[in-house]
Amino acid sequence: MKTIHFLPALLIGLQMLACGGKNNDPAPPPYIPPTPVDKNWQFEATPVWADEFDYNGLPDPAKWTYDLGGGGWGNNELQYYTDKAANAQVANGMLSVIARKEKMDNRDYTSARLVSKGRGDFLYGRFEIKAKLPAGKGTWPAIWMLPTDWAYGDWPKSGKSTSWSTWATIPTVCI
């Protein structure tokens, strides 16, 4: 004798009946966003921080400082960062950051890593950067905006804004 299970069939049928029928509630009106209001916001005509590199010599210490050392910086970088004019200098309206094949403190290359930390801190604003960056196997030039205060821990936990970053082929040597 076959056992017929009426209860599951009955429940499915009741569920289908409960879902049917008309809803007499009116449809909600479509969302209409508010009309934008022109608040006449304008950028300042004079920047609050700028370096036009209209001098010769080392980068302006009132605007720039250096990260020093050869610890790899999280990217296994092979250079030692210095504050020497051979690695960072200003001339002809340009800042030049120069990588050199020279030994320093167990590293085969030197370069410079300039930062404006503590010399220009901004929460909001417009940033204009004009840069010519090198290309070539093993290079990884970048321009980053990093926080002054590492409120959530070291990089990258406290954030960064990459203005420009690339590498030319996957390098076997990253300088």
Query: Above 50 in pLDDT, residue 171?
Result: no
Q: Is pLDDT at 82 greater than 80 in this prediction?
A: yes
What does the mean pLDDT of the chain come to? 81
Question: Is it the case that residue 170 has pLDDT exceeding 80?
Answer: no
Range 80-90 average pLDDT: 96
pLDDT at 39 (0 to 100): 86
Its pTM surpasses 0.75: no
| pLDDT recorded at residue 112 | 94
Q: Is the pLDDT of residue 125 over 70?
A: yes
User: What is the pLDDT at residue 172?
Assistant: 46
Q: What is the pLDDT confidence band of residue 173, given thresholds at 50, 70 and 90? A: very low
Confidence of residue 64 (pLDDT cuts 50, 70, 90): very high
Q: How confident is the model at residue 174 (pLDDT cuts 50, 70, 90)?
A: very low
Let me know: does 139 contact 43? Beta carbons within 8 Å: no
